[in-house]
Chains A and B, each alone.
Chain A
């Protein structure tokens, strides 16, 4: 038998009076042997991640709110000594036609590509895939996922090439050889369809996972009662995956709302027709140097994000409960 590695002094005598009290003091004053890390160790494990997140995510968010009420500029006098201008920036924004335009463009973009496009198409694809395991399904699924993971600046150019007026693939396929400059003639439609193509994979994967949670016995019961695929979808599946649908709607809207990628296709043009809020902020703050005003728009975005996120977290905790 190996020698005992025990180090502490031997206790032969019965415990001294007050032994209990001493033990309790020990438990308070030194790290318990039971914990691998102890609270201090754990804190040091948590610190790097929390530090990075705190400085480069949380602090900028709070700072946006502060900057939003100053007249900070990139150059000039206001760059050196910014003044607090209160909600001036916000009032100015709300009366600025180019901001209102960006807000309107963003709303249509989010509604068309995220709320309607990606969610409906994602659900449709997941429904098509539910009992289909052939190579066709795999090929289509991989295509959808590739559209999602290939770098944004590459897919943007793929679409620029496809939609080109003179020699784009789309015009070549359309009968009559019409030379439509899609990105100039239908810019909004173009970025909406582009973003549906780009982002449907997420909703598809989410709904694919969701459909797995529908108990097959429920569908079989409905089939025995004579329900077709459409009735099964409406009566059984949609109510069961209600929570997932809400999750998809909220997340996809949130991301689309903050998406800078349309910039890669149109840079906001032509004539600001596709200038969504992220592009607007970039133009105002970085290109034109009006940092305070840009931050105010950022703050408005943060507040909208916050509203969506709170609903989302609420939905999550409802579902967990």
Chain B
């Protein structure tokens, strides 16, 4: 088992791209840790730097209190599953799983036993004599996992291992992976750009942007209290409602309507502050007659989600989404209220959560926040 510590880890590619930027991170022993972020934010680079496939430009990778920054990948005792699985096409499933053991000079009988165990664990017993080319995508994925666990490394690294599977298989494989990790308890770093995967799997997760960690928390925390506009707009299968607002006399002014301040942000704002009001569609309620603390609009689109509907409401230049038990005909006048306990306020200037400390000298946030906010409205 292993604890992973990254100390101001930086990876700059020869072309000048800084893919990982002075990153500090602590991953606990046995933890299932997810790295989430948009394409190109440096997740793969970070993972490969931990594995030793990329050399860190500066900073340290420490595993179990040992600095492994300059160690070759093979000496780090890591198991890795690649996005394309990297199953050797010329070897059978059995030989694929046993290859790392062979490299580690495990003798042949022992090797077969361990490979068979790992294969059995992943329900691959029938397929040992096949070649990777004769396997389905889901089976290939399991062989890749089996190969990584067969030699019992102290750390697993996964780079989008499910992205090549179709939607249904992906959910199955996800459950399977989570159970497997819980059983063998090996520290796992899991890269994905699919937020639902990260929320479903991780004990803790880091949301990355441009080589930096934007939020480091449990999935619940990231989902309920995204700490910046960037994270707020990135997380959740339905986009969060993000509305430009101004603090006026202890209340919020949103396009002329009044909303009361969320209780825990009230003390951090003063009159005249320009903020962004955020609330998830599932915490919005529709009323068919005027109520206090509501934004008025007309139903523009109704989409069936399964056992509920996602309604898009437009009015006074605003667009809001709300989950409702029943659909309403287009054009219906409605009043939208938001569950106060689940409303958040963000500073319009740097995109940070109201009440959270400002990030010093971080232009990335300044530059991005208004754009993200604007894009969401």
Q: Do chains A and B touch in the complex (CB under 8 A)?
A: yes
A317 at the interface (CB under 8 A from B): no
Report B-chain residues with C-beta under 8 Å of the C-beta of A32.
55
Q: Which of A20-28, A160-168, A186-194, A214-222 contacts B (4 or more CB under 8 A)?
A: A20-28
A33 at the interface (CB under 8 A from B): yes
Q: How many residues of A contact B (CB 8 A)?
A: 23
Q: In the complex, are the beta carbons of B8 and A1 less than 8 A apart?
A: no
A7 at the interface (CB under 8 A from B): yes
Q: Among A1, A7, A30, A34, which residue has the most Cβ atoms of chain B within 10 A?
A: A34
Partner of B77, one of A2, A8, A12: A2
Partner of A34, one of B53, B60, B153: B53
| Nearest-neighbor residue (CB-CB) of A3 within chain B | B77
A11 at the interface (CB under 8 A from B): yes
Q: In the complex, are the beta carbons of A24 and B71 less than 8 A apart?
A: no
Partner of B73, one of A12, A20, A24, A33: A33
| Nearest-neighbor residue (CB-CB) of B151 within chain A | A2
- Interface positions, chain A 1-49, Cβ under 8 Å from B, are 1-2, 4-12, 15, 19-20, 23-24, 26-27, 30, 32-35
Given contacts A1-B1, A2-B152, A34-B54, contact A10 B65 (CB under 8 A): yes
Q: In the complex, are the beta carbons of A4 and B59 less than 8 A apart?
A: no
Report A-chain residues with C-beta under 8 Å of the C-beta of B67.
8-11
Contact flags (1/0) for B32-59 with A, using CB distance below 8 Å? 0000000000000000100011111111
Report A-chain residues with C-beta under 8 Å of the C-beta of B152.
1-2
Q: In the complex, are the beta carbons of B60 and A6 less than 8 A apart?
A: no
Partner of A20, one of B1, B58, B104: B58
Distance in angstroms from A119 CB to nearest chain B CB is 39
Q: How many residues of B contact A (CB 8 A)?
A: 33
Q: In the complex, are the beta carbons of A23 and B58 less than 8 A apart?
A: yes
- Interface positions, chain B 140-159, Cβ under 8 Å from A, are 151-154
Q: In the complex, are the beta carbons of B68 and A6 less than 8 A apart?
A: yes
Distance, CA A2 to CA B75, complexed state (A): 12
Report A-chain residues with C-beta under 8 Å of the C-beta of B55.
27, 32-35
Q: In the complex, are the beta carbons of B66 and A5 less than 8 A apart?
A: no
Q: In the complex, are the beta carbons of A4 and B1 less than 8 A apart?
A: no
Q: In the complex, are the beta carbons of B60 and A30 less than 8 A apart?
A: no
Distance, CA A32 to CA B52, complexed state (A): 9
Distance in angstroms from A278 CB to nearest chain B CB is 44
Report B-chain residues with C-beta under 8 Å of the C-beta of A7.
71, 75
Report A-chain residues with C-beta under 8 Å of the C-beta of B60.
11, 15, 19, 23
Distance, CA A4 to CA B62, complexed state (A): 13
Partner of B71, one of A1, A6, A20, A27: A6
Distance, CA A15 to CA B69, complexed state (A): 13
Contact flags (1/0) for B253-276 with A, using CB distance below 8 Å? 000000000000000000000000
Distance, CA A6 to CA B73, complexed state (A): 10
Distance in angstroms from A38 CB to nearest chain B CB is 11
Q: In the complex, are the beta carbons of A33 and B70 less than 8 A apart?
A: yes
Report A-chain residues with C-beta under 8 Å of the C-beta of B65.
10-12
Distance, CA A105 to CA B153, complexed state (A): 72
| Nearest-neighbor residue (CB-CB) of A2 within chain B | B152
B250 at the interface (CB under 8 A from A): no
Report B-chain residues with C-beta under 8 Å of the C-beta of A8.
66-68, 70-71
Distance in angstroms from B100 CB to nearest chain A CB is 11
Partner of A15, one of B7, B56, B68, B151: B7
Partner of A33, one of B64, B72, B153: B72
Q: In the complex, are the beta carbons of B66 and A10 less than 8 A apart?
A: yes
Distance, CA A23 to CA B8, complexed state (A): 11
Distance, CA A193 to CA B65, complexed state (A): 78
Report B-chain residues with C-beta under 8 Å of the C-beta of A11.
60, 62, 65-67
Distance, CA A4 to CA B2, complexed state (A): 10
- Interface positions, chain A 142-181, Cβ under 8 Å from B, are none
Q: Which 9 A-B pairs have the closest CB atoms?
A: A32-B55, A34-B55, A33-B72, A11-B67, A23-B58, A6-B66, A20-B58, A34-B54, A24-B58
* New A-B contacts (17) at CB < 8 Å, excluding given A2-B104, A9-B66, A11-B65: A1-B152, A6-B64, A6-B77, A7-B75, A10-B66, A11-B67, A15-B7, A19-B7, A20-B8, A23-B58, A27-B56, A33-B52, A34-B48, A34-B53, A34-B54, A34-B73, A35-B55
